[in-house]
Amino acid sequence: METQKRSKPVSNRQLCDLRHDTILIKLAAGQSIASVARELDVSASHIRDWLRSDEGLSRIGDAIDDAKEILERRLPDMVNKALDVLEATLNAPFMSAAKMTAAVTIVKTVAKLSEQQKCSKCDDSRIVN
């Protein structure tokens, strides 16, 4: 008779951590607290209370730090790609208004990303829009 391996039971703490990770992911993706609450079958006030708790604030801070690290790693490649597109646009034989608008958007985006990277290194309390 073949024996099956049993996986370890999941602790209540692990379930809570998983649920809290799910909450953060869904909120970061743009879902409202009310929507996440309905989806996870918890009260919106429970989510708000957790977000305001020391643990919630710590987890949010960790998520922001992770996002900053990802941005810092990806920024050089993103800037290079944007500059390649800008160069191709400016070298195109016919410069339409749409191409010029695209070029301006790329330059503004590169400047904004560079500014955000500078700010994240020198002042974590400032958020650039």
Question: Which domain, by its residues, includes 32?
Answer: 11-52
126 and 92 belong to one structural domain: yes
Q: Is 29 in a helix, a strand, or coil?
A: coil
pTM of the model: 0.55
- Residue 31 belongs to a domain: yes
pLDDT tens digit sequence for 76-98: 888 888 788 778 877 777 767 77
One domain for residues 74 and 129: yes
pLDDT in tens, 35-51: 999 999 989 999 999 99
- Report whether 34 contacts 48 (CB < 8 A): no
Res 122: pLDDT: 54
- Residue 48 and residue 74 in one domain: no
| Total domains present in the chain | 2
Q: Assess if residue 57 is contained within a domain.
A: no
Predicted pLDDT at 119: 64
Give tens-digit pLDDT for 22-81.
999 999 899 999 999 999 998 999 999 999 999 999 999 998 898 888 888 888 888 888
Give a yes or no: residue 129 inside a domain: yes
Q: Is residue 18 part of a domain?
A: yes
The predicted pLDDT at position 9 comes to: 63
**Identity at 96, one-letter amino acid code:** S
Strands (E), the chain: none
Give a yes or no: residue 104 inside a domain. yes
Q: Has residue 103 got a pLDDT over 70?
A: yes
Torsion sign over Cα 40, 45, 46, 48: positive
Domain presence at residue 16: yes
Q: Are residues 73 and 123 in the same domain?
A: yes
Same domain, residue pair 88 and 113: yes
Q: Using 50, 70 and 90 to split pLDDT, how confident is the model at 121?
A: low
Whether residues 21 and 78 fall in one domain:
no
What is the secondary structure of 35-101 as a DSSP string? Answer: HHHHHHTS-HHHHHHHHHSHHHHHHHHHHHHHHHHHHHHHHHHHHHHHHHHHHHHHHSSS--HHHHH
Say whether both 125 and 85 belong to one domain. Answer: yes
